[in-house]
Every structure is written in C-alpha cells, then in structure tokens.
Amino acid sequence: MWLKPEEVLLKNALKLWLMERSNDYFVLQRRRGYGEEGGGGLTGLLVGTLDSVLDSTAKVAPFRILHQTPDSQVYLSIACGANREEITKHWDWLEQNIMKTLSVFDSNEDITNFVQGKIRGLIAEEGKQSFAKEDDPEKFREALLKFEKCFGLPEQEKLVTYYSCSYWKGRVPCQGWLYLSTNFLSFYSFLLGSEIKLIISWDAVSKLEKTSNVILTESIHVCSQGESHYFSMFLHINQTYLLMEQLANYAIKRLFDKETFDDDPILDDPLQITKRGLEDRAHSEQFNAFFRLPKEEILKEVHECLLWVPFSHFNARGKMCISENYICFASQDGNLCSVIIPFREVFAIEKTNDSSKSVVISIKGKTAFRFSEVKDFEQLVAKLRLKCGAASTQYHDISTEVPISSDSADPSDNIEVQSLTCQRECSKTVNTEALMTLKEKMKEQSWNILFAERGRGVSMFRTKKTQDLVIRGIPETLRGELWMLFSGAVNDMAANPGYYADVVEQSLGTCNLATEEIERDLRRSLPEHPAFQSDTGISALRRVLTAYAYRNPKIGYCQAMNILTSVLLLYAKEEEAFWLLVAVCERMLPDYFNRRIIGALVDQAVFEELIRDHLPQLTEHMTDMTFFSSVSLSWFLTLFISVLPIESAVNVVDCFFYDGIKAILQLGLAILDYNLDKLLACKDDAEAVTTLNRFFDSVTNKDSPLPSSVQQGSNVNDGKSHIRVDITDLIRESNEKYGNICCEDIYSMRCRNRLFVIQTLEETTKQNVLRVVSQDVKLSLHELDELYVIFKKELFFTYYWCLSYPVLKHHDPSLPYLEQYQIDCQQFRVLYHLLSPWAHSANRDSLALWTFRLLDENSDCLINFKEFSSAIDIMYNGSFTEKLKLLFKLHIPPAYTEVKSKDPSKGDELSKEELLYLSQLHVSKLENEKEAEAVKNSPEKGKGKADIQAYLSQWQDELFKKEENIKDLPRMNQSQFIQFSKTLYNLFHGDREEESLYQAIAVVTSLLLRMEEVGRKLHSPISSAKGFCGTVCASRGASEEKTESSLEKDPSLLREEPQWSFAFEQILASLLNEPALVRFFEKPTDVEAKLENAKISQLSCRTKM
C-alpha cells in the first residue's frame, strides 16, 4: 500500500527494522522478528507488542519502503506491505517506472518533490472510490491494511471503522484494536508473544449492551452463541456502541428479516456503508421519529439557534433541523417546545438587517417564525429560498390545511370517501352536538384558546400545555384533526393527493387470503357501536382495510388492524383513516403487523425490561416473566382498545398519537403499579389475569359524551361493586410516575431487544427443524445441532459477499420451517468438502454434484437441511448396504451426468459456473409444466385458500412412505459402471489397506463381468467384457485410463454389441464377498471431530490467511 510520504528517523529505526534491499534512492526494510525462526526472540516479542498497541504506521505492516537521496539524512516512508509479495510488487514498480526518470533531475530537492508528487498521485487515484467518504483517509488506509493482514477476510468485507480498546479475558485486560466491518466484529491483540484474534459475525450476536461494574467502569458486553465478551477503555464509548448496534441490527435485518430490508435501499449494498453514513442515518431516523415525518425524509442540516415564542415572550434555545421538505425546531431547555414547518406551507423567507443573525419564515396562515443567532444565516436563507420554490411547485394544488373533521357535528359522519357515494345513516344514532356535556364544551374551549395562542394545523407550537390537554382527552369534534396532526399522517396525505381513491379503485374486486380474512372480521369490529351496525360503516371499513392490504402486500391484513381501523373511522374521514393506519403500521408501530409480529414482541421485551427497573418487587414475585408478554400482547397490538371500554380506549389513542409507544409503555406500568398489591397476592397466572380483567372492567371515562347505548354497558353493571378508575386520572398518573422514560432510551431498548427477539425466533426455528429431522437420521441431537449451524452459516457466507445471486432465495419466515433455509450446488460442494468422509476422493467435485442432483428431488436446484442431513447421515452412520446403495444411486440417473472440465489442467475440479450448469442439466422442466404441477400438488391451490385435506394427504404419504426396495433400483449400464469403479478406486486411495482394497475391487469387477459375459454369450461371439476385465485388474493409475480408452477407442464395437448392465443386488452380493471392502465401509468415523474441524475451517477456507 502506498503511504503519504512522511519523514522517519532511521537512526533509532535500525533497532526495529532490518534492511532487505537498497539502491541510490530507495530502501526496502523488514520489521525485526517477522519471518524469523522463533519470532526473533525477546526483541521480536517487544516489537510485535509495540506494533499491536501503538497507533502508527509501524503497527500496520512488517515491510516498508523508504525514499532517500544521496548525501541526505532525511528518509521518507512511501509504501508498506503485509507480505513480501505485496512489497516486492511496489519495489519492482519503483525500479521500472521511477528510477530511470530520477537520473534526469539536477538537485536532490527536485528528486524528492517528484517522488512525493508521484506517490500522492497514486494514493489519490487508488482512493478515489474507497476512502473518499472517510474522515481521515490516510489513517483509514493504514487500519484497513492491518485489518486485512490480521484477519484475511475477502475483499468484499467492508471495514466501517476501528477503535483502540481493551478486551477482557477473565479479569485480565488485553489492549488491542477493535474492527467493525459490515459482517463481523473483529478484535486483534499481540502482547509479549500472546496473540488474541477474535471474529464474531453480527448475525450471531444475541445481546449487545453497555454495562458497568466494580472492575469495569463502563464496557460493551457482546453475547454470541452463549459466550460473553467484554470490551472497555474506549475514547468515545457511546459513539462506538451506537455504531455496533446499527451494524448488528443491519445484519439481522438483512439475513433474518428480509420483509423490512426490502424497503431499505440505503443498506442494499454493504460496500457503500461508512461510519459517517451510519451516523447520518441514525440522526435521520431519530429526526423522523421525533417529528413524525415520512420515512423517506433525510436530515440535511442542523443549526443551533433561538426561536421567538410569542405567547410566552421569550426566545427558546434549541436546534433547527432541515430536511428535503421540512424545517423543524425542538427546544433544549425542557419546555417541550417544538415546531414543524412544511415547505409547502411557506410563502416567504427573509433575513433581518440587524446583528441578531435572524431568519424569518412566513407561512400561509399569516404566521411568522423568527429564528435568531443562526450561524451562516445568509447562506441558509439562500438555500431555504431555493427549497421553498421547489416545494411550492410540487404542492401547488394542495390546500393550506387538510380538511378537518370538525366541520361535521357528527363523528360518525366521517366514514366517507369523496370519490365514493355513501349514505349518512349513522347521523341519527350519535349526535355529538346534542350529547356534548359541559366538560366536553370546556375541553373544546381550552383547545380553541390554545389554537388562538399557538396556532392551528401542522405548524402549531407544541408545548407542555399541548401535552396536558391531550392527557385530559381530546374533544370528540377535534379528535380526527389532531390525530392526523400528531401522527404525521397529515403530511403523508398532503404528499400523495388522490392516492387513496386510486388504491381503492385498483383493489376493488381483488380476492386473496387477506381479503377473505378481512371479510371474516368485518362484523367483529366494534359490533356494539351503531356506526358498524349498518352497511355504510362496514363498507368504509372494508375499503380502508382492503386498500391497505393492496398498498402493502407484505403486511396484507393482520388481526387487530380491524379493531384499530374501526376506531379511526369513528373520528376521521375515510381517506384520513387510511393515512392514519399507514402511519401506525409503517412508522409508529414498525413490524407490528407482519407475519411474526416482531415489533410487538420487541416492545413486549422492552416492557419487561421497564418492569424490572420500575417494579422490582413484581419481578421477584413472578416466577416467569413470560406472563407479562402473554397478557400485554393485546395491549400493544390494539392500543388497549380490545381490553378497555371504547370511551376510555380513545383517550389512550389520543396519548399514543401524541407520544408514540412511550404512552402505551407508561400506561402499562401504571396499570401494573395500580394493581401491585393484588398481583403480589395472586398464587398463579390465571388469578393474575382475572385481577387485571376486573380492573379493566372498572375503568370509566366520566367525561365521555357518548350515550350508554354506545358505551360498553356490560362492563359497567356486573352485579359487583368495584372502585371506579377514571381513565384521565390513570393516564395522568402514568405521566407523573413514568414520564421520565425518554424516547431515546426506548429507541435504544428496542434496538437491543430486537436482537434477542429475532435470535429467539431463530432458535425456535432450529429446534423445530431438528425435531423433525432427528426422527429420520441416526445422528445425535447435538451432532444435528452442530450440522445445522454449519449449514446455515454456509448460506450466510454467500449473503455476506454475493450481492446478486440468481438462484438463492432470501429467508422467508412464512415458509415451513424446513424450507426457510436452502442451499444451492456451489454451497453444497463447499460443505461436502468440509464434512464428507469421501471428500478425499480425486473426483470429489463430481461426487458432490451427483449427490446434490440426487437430493434435489423437486428439481428447483436447492436442497433443505433435511435432505442435506440425510446424505451426511448415510455417509457416517449408514450400514454397508445403505452406503453402497447411495454410491450406486449417484452413478445412475437422475443423479448421474457425465462430467468433463473445460480446463484439463484442473483435472476433475469444476469451476463454479460449470458446477451450477451441471446441477441444472436434465432436471429443469418447462415453466408452464412446473406451474401446472405446483398448482396440482399444492394444498394452497385456488384463490390462495389452504386445502386442509391436501395437507393431510401429503402428511399421510410421508408417514407411510414405504422403504425403497433394492429390487426397484434401475440397472447400471457399462459407462456408469466404469465411473462407479473409478469412484471406488478414488475412495480407497490413501487408506491403510489400499493394496488389498484395490485387489478386492479388481476381483469383484472381474467376477461381475464374467457373470455378465455368461449371460450374453448367445448374443455375441466376441465380448468386450474380457477387455474391460483385463484393464480393471491392471495397476491403479493406468487402470483408470485403460478402462476409458479400451471402451472409447472403438465406439462402433459398442454400437454393434448389446449393452451390458448390472443390478444392484449383483454388485452388493459381489462386494459382500470381500472382507476388506466391508471393513472399509463399516469403519467408524468420529463425526463430532469432523464437525468441529468444519466449523473452524468454514471461515478460514475463505480467508487469505
């Protein structure tokens, strides 16, 4: 690697470096202790320790090139190398391209300037793509070289960043370097001859957290495959931890959770990930989450400034955050003052002429925002004016404010869509104006005063007063408007005019599994509410749910979405309800409504963590924390709508749209705290569930304007007197007691627990697969477990470094457990080489290919773990007959295909392209045939509806699948038998009984051919079998060539004579007569040792080490 020219002191360096080559202008040196026998003694150990600990060029590489000029004491380091081959290339290049030119210059100064310029030019050209985005390209290049030297990972493994730190082995810290790359966490240390090299793949991390104890003041704890690792002594531990968290979650998404990763183009190419990019991404995510902006928004600029707050007559200090479509402000002083200004609302941006460095932004509602003490405010004004011009063009047909539902006196009337005609049948049932209580009017008046002071709409000031009013409950007439505002759905709707009407039209008449489930649940959605006792309400609910299923087929429809959407439709117009559902499913509750409800499981884990922190006595009492998960699942999925009376649940939804998941977590803690004594007195889970259900029945909303016919009256009069709990008091108490839980902590806990939840799901998948497979193989559960880990890791290695792979399918959790992970022929070959006891054979690539083709029964060029383990099991634990039958089947169709390498110099070795091509030969069917057969055999034929009878039939066939009879096996023809004999010869090579095995196989072959000759004497006076018998009995190496040549030189003879063939029983009977052959195939092999070696070799075979 070329280095930026820097002066070095050669006087002291001679103690650490040895000269290898030199000329008038350059010196090539080797680091003392490197490449010497015994490591160079004590000096070598000390040098190695210095190299590991110190952050200098010396630590990077054992070779370097210095530039010198005659009669000068100044030396410049210009190149370094990890090995002799690399540094020699650089030396040769200097001799061929630079040396001749240097003789032209008159002065040493000109020579030095020329060399420096040339080296800098090489570095600039080399680093155009790779290091341009790094903060310090030169240091990063050095770290990259050390990383490659220490770990030898493939070039596609992108180093993101590196840190100096200590790794704790027991109670002993080892100082070294931590490298964070796209797929691995790596650590290297060398102290006085003791080398520590640690590589942990991100996908194996199940826990990542910051910890502190008596010994370690602050450290990062990484748990991988049951082992704990501690790293400490970081200069910036928070920054390091956040990057590690991002990389771990990125790997988890990419490998286990492809549903969400598909929507993430930023991380689609691992080679583009940089430290700065990850930091920017984290800031953007936090920015969007805090201000409830669309996921596509990217934070561009942040400015420290003051915002004039007119109703309080003071300047609030905070940060102005600017993205492509929004200007946002959040205060730092705890006043909870925040503002969102969409560019579509801005009509003027001005700057003041005084010394306040102010920017004034005027919006269409006759409101102006004054930001002062803005650094570089003149440039900022110019940028904002450009953005404002673009935004006003983009949104020219959008009204200033989204139509709000307060125009209608009846919240039920909002169930409508402008493009579709709907009747207003609900207006007589619920008339908010007639039923509004005095408290409701007072609440509405409070909000009107707030609007007058702080503005109304997207750009209103949001303060502590806003939160207090939300906690009291939003008035019925304002609920739809404020839900749209606080959730950010108003921005989605403004950015996509006409989108909902188009989706409704396109989804009309679609019929699939989602629409069938929607139809089934329509009548179960708030059946007690008048709005859903008529076709009008039901039709609106159907349209919203079907439109969303059409928009997001990965989620489609999930139970609980119907309950949530029903409540949204009570207070918002149909199109608004759709965008509110989008905001909930895609932003506010991410991954809640996918197939595995990962988001809900993660938040349940966060909830359990908060219970441990805030209610430790409850944690001590409960023997199993999973009780809280089972109880709280419906709380999170339906925002308490399914457990609380509807008039109380809407107040919870108010707080959720304002505070996000924080409101649900706080309320959950408050409920458990309120019932603490009763829960501590419970003897089992059933009693605790009953206690909580009674509590929910006692929750009321004394301010609700809804009549008793709409309220869930069954819960009000249950024949027993319970203390009534007002929902407003409960929410207020949750804020007072647990309001200190901040959004940043929840975000961090979500990231941390996501790793644990997904790894737990993966462990469940593994256990289910092992349970199924263990019934059919003789491998022990421990051996199967190890084999599964190796199988899955091989698949992941391909995902690590092959961005576009045509055959491989990404992990799909909706598939049956066995089909979730499948490998192709190339991956199978690698595993075959690592695991098969027959992998020492010269034609091992051919054997791997034929074995793969045999296992690939459905001809999709992929095999699952059950198929893979069945082959390995026979090779290790099969009887003599089973092993021989496997070898026999490998040499007859459909497994067998003639193999000829394009490159004769490689012998029997096949290239990746040849292997993949041959694996697909003679097995691919026409697409329409495949589809027809798939539909015919699939239990899910028809309209996506599962055919239970077909599933049962398939299951029964599997159970009663009869043992394959050896008489049913087809006969082996002469060319196949020749290859079969060659395979046996290859298998015996290197065995202790090699000679006797060769003699035995020669005897068997002769016997078989004589038997066949007797059977064919009537057909042919001249038999080619004799010729073959002679060649087989000949010596080992020559026998194989003669076997082929004797039959290939005269193809006309083969055409004239009838083809001879052998049945499996003939071959088996003949081989059983030879004790040496029986001993060979029944020889026990240590499976565990083989698996352990495979785990170690799996990564090392891909590295350059």
Please write the tens of the pLDDT for every residue from 572-593. 999 999 999 999 999 999 888 8
What pLDDT sits at residue 399? 37
Please write the tens of the pLDDT for every residue from 1042-1091. 334 443 444 443 444 556 788 899 899 999 999 999 999 998 889 999 99
Share the mean pLDDT of the chain: 80
Name the pLDDT band for 792 (thresholds 50, 70, 90): very high
Higher pLDDT, 538 or 801: 538
Name the pLDDT band for 422 (thresholds 50, 70, 90): very low
Please write the tens of the pLDDT for every residue from 312-350. 888 999 999 999 999 999 998 766 799 999 999 998 899
User: What is the residue whose two structure tokens read 């669309």?
Assistant: 294
Long-range contacts formed by 796-803: CB under 8 A, 24+ apart: 796/201, 796/203, 796/255, 797/1098, 797/1099, 797/1102, 798/826, 798/827, 799/254, 799/255, 800/156, 800/157, 800/182, 800/183, 800/270, 801/154, 801/156, 801/157, 803/269, 803/270, 803/271
Cis preceding-peptide flag for 894 (omega within 30 of 0): yes
Question: Tell me, what DSSP letter sits at residue 512?
Answer: S
- Report the alpha-carbon angle 854-857-862, nearest 5: 90
**Cα 382 from chain centre:** 41
State the Cα torsion 633-469-474-734 to the nearest 10°: 20
Please write the tens of the pLDDT for every residue from 178-190. 999 999 999 998 8
**How many Å apart are CA 360 and CA 388, to the nearest integer?**
13
What pLDDT sits at residue 1091? 93
**How many Å apart are CA 712 and CA 700, to the nearest integer?**
10
What pLDDT sits at residue 809? 60
Exposed e or buried b per residue across 397-431, where buried means at least 16 C-beta atoms within 10 angstroms of its C-beta:
ebeebbebbbebebbbbbbbbeeeebeebbeebbb
Give strand pairing partners of 972: 1062
**How many Å apart are CA 445 and CA 352, to the nearest integer?**
37
**How many Å apart are CA 797 and CA 827, to the nearest integer?**
9
What pLDDT sits at residue 957? 61
C-beta of residue 514 within 8 angstroms of C-beta of residue 415: no
Q: Which residues, 6+ apart, have CB-to-CB distance to 549 below 8 Å?
A: 507, 512, 514, 515, 518, 555, 556, 557
Residue 570: count of CB within 10 angstroms of its CB: 26
Question: Tell me, what DSSP letter sits at residue 806?
Answer: S
Whether pLDDT at 405 is above 50: no
Pairing relation of β-strands 26-31 and 17-22?
A: antiparallel
Higher pLDDT, 895 or 412: 895
Structure tokens at 404: 């709000």
What's the mean pLDDT in 128-136?
Answer: 51
Please write the tens of the pLDDT for every residue from 929-963. 444 444 444 444 444 444 556 656 665 665 555 45
**How many Å apart are CA 484 and CA 486, to the nearest integer?**
6
**How many Å apart are CA 61 and CA 51, to the nearest integer?**
9
What's the mean pLDDT in 615-641?
Answer: 85
Residue 690: count of CB within 10 angstroms of its CB: 12
What pLDDT sits at residue 53? 53
Reported pTM: 0.78
Structure tokens at 952: 């049962």
Please write the tens of the pLDDT for every residue from 17-35. 888 888 888 989 887 766 6
What's the mean pLDDT in 508-528?
Answer: 87
User: What is the residue whose two structure tokens read 């691995």?
Assistant: 184
**How many Å apart are CA 226 and CA 119, to the nearest integer?**
48
Can you give the length of the chain in residues? 1105
What's the mean pLDDT in 106-124?
Answer: 82
Give strand pairing partners of 509: none
Q: How many CA atoms lie within 13 A of 557 on its CB side?
A: 25
